[in-house]
Structure 1
C-alpha cells in the first residue's frame, strides 16, 4: 500500500499522491479518536472493558 510509503518517507518531494496523504490523515484521525476516548474513560474511572462490551452489544 502506498500510504505506508508516506510513513517511511514523509517528504513532499516523494511520489506520494494527495490521496496517500489523505489516507494517512484518515488513519491518524481514527487512531487519535480511539486514544482520546480511552484516555477520557480512564480519567473518569470507567473501565475500558465496559466500553468494548457496550460497542459489541450494539453491533
Structure 2
C-alpha cells in the first residue's frame, strides 16, 4: 500500500509542485482491499477443510 501511494505522489509531483496524498481519503479503498483479502482467505480456508488436496506422493 505504501509503495502505491509513493508512486502516486511521485507521478503527481512531476509538475514541480510537491504533492502529498491525503491518507484519510484512501481509507475506503483500504477497507475494500482488506475485505476482499479476508473473503479470499476465509473461502480458501473453508475449501481446504471441506475438499482437501490429494497428496500425489502417498
TM-score, scaled relative to structure 1: 0.48
User: TM-score of the superposition, structure 2-length normalised?
Assistant: 0.48
Larger relative contact order (Cα-Cα within 8 Å, sequence gap ≥ 6): 1
- Higher radius of gyration, 1 or 2: 2
